[in-house]
A and B are shown apart, each in its own frame.
Chain A
Amino acid sequence: MDLSSMQSDALTELINIGNARAASALSDLTGHRITLEVPKVSIHKIEEVGEFLSRTISGEVASVHQVFSGPVGGNGLLLLDQEAALILTRLLTNNESGRSLDASAKEVLTEVGNIVLSACLGVFGKLLQVQVTFAVPRLHVESIHKLLSSLTVGREELHYALTVQSKFTLRNSDIGGYLVIILGVTSLDRLLEELGHWEKRQLED
């Protein structure tokens, strides 16, 4: 499914609003200046997203996975390859000696994922004027295919993945990752429709 350039621009803008909030929250939390950029947004059928992501992410990935429900429901994921996840947690906690994603590092990553996902999905919730509730975030370290297959199992409705390429910048380092939001086709339609209205309102203002 291709996004029109207007849709793509509007989505990027919207996600950037969420990211700015997330970055500010992370900066407050860690005491480091952190920025979160979104260079690229795209939509894929869920069956195809694995191939798309494995072009840039290889090996094991660390994912923060959060289910959200309400009038609009789906899954939110923050994906980082293992190396990037390790670097990010090291930079955030000033712990240069971390050599593996231990329990403490996983927790930090979960909190970061929660902040980023909440901020992004919070913006969508506001746009759609619906109350979205979240489940407790969970962290997994596994291959990207295993991760995605666990998400597609048992779904009847056609699902799409909104993939948001993201870049954390802190302490002179860039760490790349992906924000993936998986939505059913009805939720996605509703989101895109509201996006159109919002874009129109923006232009009118």
Chain B
Amino acid sequence: MEKESGISSEAMGHAVLAWMQDLSPQGICVTDNELRIRGWNSWLELNSGMEKKNVLGKNLFQVFPDLETRCLDAYFNKALAGGVSILSAAFHGHLFPFTPSIADSGFSSMQQTVRIAPLIHADEIVGTITIVEDVTEREHHNALLRKQYERQELFSWVLSHLLESTDPEKMVKEIFPQISVHIGMDAYFNFLLDEGGTRLRLHSAGGVANDVQEKFGTIELGENLSGTCALERRTVIWSEIQRSHEAKAQGAKSLGFTACICHPLLAQGKLIGTLAFALRKRNQFEPDEVEFTRVIAQYVGIALERSQNLNALNRAKEKLRSHAELLEKEVQERTRELLDSLNELQTFSYSLAHDVRAPLRHVRGYVEAMVEDGQGELTAKSREYIDLILKSIFRLDSLTEDILTYGQLSQIASPKTPVHLDDLLKDIISLNPALEVPGVVTIAMPLHTPIAERPLLSQCLTNLLDNAVKFVPAGVAPRIVVRTELKTEKANAGTAESHWVRIYVEDNGIGISSEYHDRIFGIFERLGREGDFPGTGIGLAIVTKAMQRMGGRVGLSSESGQGAKFWIELPARDS
């Protein structure tokens, strides 16, 4: 068969191999067992720029001296000992220093995956074979993916920090330095629009000296990069600044910037500031950097808007609080003034009543003396007048006495103690002959014991009983019932219960129409004509005031002509 084809199978094999070597998309380097180059395929010629004829027969390390300095000779020696090695691009970058196959890969040399194996012939190791694969494009792609991933991480880091922060403005200052470093920016400026909306105030900056920050502390709209961006409300990018002759760019030029980008910070379409980044080495921004900084600006805009809303809310709260404080102060002042004048008035009426009594007694004494001395000389008319004078004096006297009692209520305090109503009522009844009449007052037992100031309670019950016996239609015998009731109250769900003693004074008198119920507890309020029933109109006012003093309540249920049922309520002893 060999003869038929006219060529040996060995020669055939060589031919095929040579053809495949030339066609191979990988580098194939063959050495003998002294590491002299014996095979150098077209791919290697193409990528190394070294022709086969110039390297064949030369020692591998002579052609590539850095293999030894990078300790890669060990892999060839291992192959001569029968070992196989794989050299990954991640660990080694490259075996042979070739130019990267793609432009802008970011790698200074072609990235390679390399396999080094022994070359075996008839069970003998006769040399080495090295396969070099160009993986630059793959590694470049991986690096881009990595960068994208890192940016995404940075985005979520920035976003979560801005959203979590209770002080977004401060947080913005803290995150810029980190972002700038991460994306390779040399400086940044963050301006905020002032309240008038005409100027930008520097909020934070980095990568520039402090005096520069002071110099650009406030800028006008339209001035410099940030002012232009704020005025036009759009992203402004300046490239190759050092070559620019534009007036606006001179500030950036003087700071040594080569390229700048500025994004407006917008919140719901409203301008709140600007965010600018600057480069000092590269003359322009990559499209991904433009996009990245734009997204950061969006985030920052949202955070600052949140911060401004928060501040506005706090200011409003503060205003409200100080207003409430002012109001409270005013109320206190007015109350104090009112109390002062009230005290003055009370003191005045008390002293008036007190001072009136002495001359009154004088008048009464002389009138009585006049009646006694001039028994036979007085005409019937004179006697009638004298009676009227004495009646008026008596009325004026009771009035002054009641006013004094009323006035004393606010000045004298005695301790609150359990008061046994049984004793108290007996004392009161014994002092008023009208009450002492058998059958007039009925006390319904048992009587509960309230906590009260005894003199005040005594005054209240005296007044109520006096009224009850007084306001009875002519010809009707007064009937009065005094009884008590224990009440339990709960002001709100969850609060403790309180116990009260309610003392009723019920009579069979003329009664009070319900339309007057509110009025009768005021001072000088009388319902009947003065002639029908004697009295000063202060009695119930005294009761009301006394009950207020003791933390009690007073009330009434009555209808005209059906008798009256007054009650007072005081804390019970057991509560």
Interface, chain A (partner B; CB < 8 A): 29-30, 66, 70, 92-93, 95, 97, 99, 102-105, 107-108, 110-111, 114, 118, 122, 125, 131-137
**Given A134-B83, A136-B117, A137-B84, does the pair A107, B78 have CB atoms closer than 8 Å?**
no
Do A118 and B113 contact each other (CB < 8 Å), given the known contacts A29-B91, A108-B91, A110-B88? no
Output the least CB separation between B107 and chain A (Å). Answer: 13
* Cross-chain contact A111 with B86 (CB below 8 angstroms): yes
Q: How far is the CB of B150 from chain A (nearest CB, A)?
A: 6
Chain B residues within 8 Å of A137, by CB: 84, 86
Contact of A114 among B85, B113, B120, B142 (CB under 8 A): B85
Among B86, B90, B91, B125, the residue within 8 A (CB) of A136 is B86
A29: chain B residues at CB < 8 Å are 91
Partner of B90, one of A93, A97, A99, A125: A93
Q: Per a CB cutoff under 8 Å, which of A92, A104, A110, A122 touches B86? A: A110
| A133 with B120, Cβ < 8 A, contacts A97-B149, A102-B142 known | yes
Contact B91 A97 (CB under 8 A): no
**Min CB distance, A51 to chain B, in Å?**
31
Q: List 27 A-B residue pairs with CB atoms under 8 Å apart, sorted by A's residue number.
A: A70-B82, A93-B91, A97-B146, A97-B149, A99-B149, A103-B135, A103-B138, A104-B88, A104-B139, A104-B142, A107-B86, A107-B89, A107-B113, A108-B88, A108-B91, A111-B88, A114-B85, A114-B86, A118-B78, A118-B83, A118-B84, A133-B125, A134-B82, A134-B84, A135-B84, A136-B86, A137-B84
Which one, B82, B84, B88, contacts A107 given CB within 8 A? Answer: B88
The residue in chain A whose Cβ has the minimal distance to the Cβ of B71 is: A28
Most buried by A among B78, B135, B142, B153: B142
Supposing A134-B84, A136-B84 touch, asked if A108 and B117 sit within 8 A by C-beta, the answer is no
The answer, yes or no, to whether B118 is at the interface (CB within 8 Å) is: yes
B: which residues have CB within 8 A of A?
A: 78, 82-91, 113, 115, 117-118, 120, 125, 135, 138-139, 142, 145-146, 149-150, 153
Interface centre among B85, B115, B118, B125 (most CB of A within 10 A): B85
Which residues from A are CB-within-8-Å of B86? 107, 110-111, 114, 136-137
- A137 CA to B117 CA in the complex, in Å? 10
Q: Are B82 and A108 neighbours in the complex by a CB distance under 8 Å?
A: no
CA distance A95 to B90 in the complex (A): 10
List 13 extra interface pairs beyond A97-B150, A111-B86, A134-B84, CB under 8 A.
A70-B82, A95-B146, A103-B138, A107-B86, A107-B89, A110-B88, A114-B86, A118-B84, A125-B82, A134-B82, A136-B117, A137-B84, A137-B86
- Judge whether A66 and B142 touch: CB under 8 Å: no
Q: Give the Cβ gap from A92 to chain B, nearest Cβ, in Å.
A: 8
CB distance from A88 to the nearest CB of B (A): 12
Q: A66 to B86, alpha carbons, bound, how many Å?
A: 11
Q: Contacts of B145 on A, CB cut-off 8 Å?
A: 97
How far, in angstroms, from A29 to B93 measured CA to CA in the complex?
12
* B82 A133 Cβ-Cβ under 8 A: yes
Kindly list chain A residues whose C-beta atoms are within 8 Å of the C-beta of B135. Answer: 103-104, 107
CA of A110 to CA of B87 in the docked complex: distance in angstroms?
A: 9
User: In the complex, what's the smallest C-beta–C-beta distance from A98 to chain B, in angstroms?
Assistant: 8
- Min C-beta distance of B502 to chain A, whole Å: 80
Complex: A111 Cα to B84 Cα, angstroms: 10
Q: How far is the CB of B201 from chain A (nearest CB, A)?
A: 38
Closest chain B residue to A137, Cβ basis = B86
B-side contacts of A103, CB under 8 Å: 135, 138
**When the two chains form their complex, are residues B120 and A104 in contact, meaning their CB atoms are under 8 A apart?**
no
The distance from the CB of A102 to the nearest CB of chain B, in whole angstroms, is 6
Cα A164 to Cα B87 with chains together (Å) = 25
Taking a contact as CB atoms closer than 8 A, the residue among A30, A95, A111, A122 that contacts B83 in the complex is A122
Nearest A residue to B145 via CB reads: A97
The reply to whether B149 and A107 form a contact with Cβ atoms under 8 Å apart is no
Cα distance A73–B125 in the bound complex, in angstroms: 17
B84 and A104 within 8 A (CB) = no
> Contacts of A104 on B, CB cut-off 8 Å?
88-90, 135, 138-139, 142
A133 contacts across to B, CB distance below 8 A = 82, 118, 120, 125
Residues of B near A135 (CB, < 8 A) are: 84
Give the complex CA separation of A118 and B84 in angstroms: 8
Contact of A107 with B83 at beta-carbon distance under 8 Å, contacts A97-B146, A97-B150 already known? no
A104 to B143, CA, bound (A): 11
B84 → A minimal CB distance (Å): 4
Q: Which residues of A contact B83 (CB under 8 A)?
A: 118, 122, 134
Q: Which residue from chain B places its CB closest to the CB of A26 in the assembled complex?
A: B91
Task: State in angstroms the CA–CA spacing of A100 and B90 once bound together.
Answer: 15
- Please indicate the chain A residues that have their CB under 8 angstroms from the CB of B139 in the complex: 104
Considering the chains assembled together, what is the distance between the CA atoms of A70 and B118 in angstroms?
13
In the bound assembly, the distance between CA atoms of A92 and B90 in angstroms comes to 9
Indicate which residue in A66, A111, A118, A122 contacts B91 across the interface (CB closer than 8 Å): A111
**A114 — which chain B residues lie within 8 A by C-beta?**
84-86
Nearest A residue to B153, CB-CB: A97
Closest 8 CB pairs of A and B: A97-B149, A107-B88, A134-B84, A133-B82, A111-B88, A108-B88, A97-B146, A108-B90
Within the complex, the shortest CB–CB distance from A198 to chain B, in Å, comes to 20
- The answer to whether A131 and B82 touch across the interface, beta carbons within 8 angstroms, is yes
Known: A118-B78, A118-B83, A137-B84. A107 touches B90 (CB 8 A): yes
A102 to B113, CA, bound (A): 14
Contact B115 A136 (CB under 8 A): yes
Q: A95 — which chain B residues lie within 8 A by C-beta?
A: 90, 146
Which residues of chain B are near A122, meaning CB under 8 Å? 83
How far does the alpha carbon of A12 sit from the alpha carbon of B224 in the complex, in Å?
A: 73
Cα A21 to Cα B82 with chains together (Å): 17
Partner of B82 from A99, A105, A132 at Cβ < 8 Å: A132
Residue of A nearest to B138 (CB): A103
Q: For the complex, what is the distance from the CA of A156 to the CA of B88, rounded to whole Å? A: 36
B273 → A minimal CB distance (Å): 32
* Residues of chain B lying within 8 A (CB to CB) of residue A30: 91
Q: Which residues of B contact A110 (CB under 8 A)?
A: 86, 88
Instruction: Tell me the smallest distance from the CB of A134 to a CB of chain B, in Å.
Output: 4
Q: How far is the CB of A148 from chain B (nearest CB, A)?
A: 23
Q: How far is the CB of A62 from chain B (nearest CB, A)?
A: 14
Q: Report how far A111 CA is from B135 CA in the complex, Å.
A: 15
For B124, give the chain A residue with the smallest CB separation. A131
Min CB distance, A74 to chain B, in Å?
A: 15
Give Cα distance in the complex from A111 to B115, angstroms.
10
CB-CB < 8 A to B90: which residues of A?
A: 92-93, 95, 104-105, 107-108
- Bound-state CA distance A105–B113 (Å) is 12
Name the residue of chain A whose CB is nearest to the CB of B113: A107
Q: How far is the CA of A132 from the CA of B91 in the complex (A)?
A: 26
Q: How far is the CA of A178 from the CA of B338 in the complex (A)?
A: 94
The smallest beta-carbon distance between B88 and chain A, in angstroms, is 4
In the complex, A192 Cα to B88 Cα: how many Å? 35
**In the complex, A110 Cα to B86 Cα: how many Å?**
7
CA distance A132 to B83 in the complex (A): 8
Query: Which residue of the partner chain A has the closest CB to B142?
Result: A104
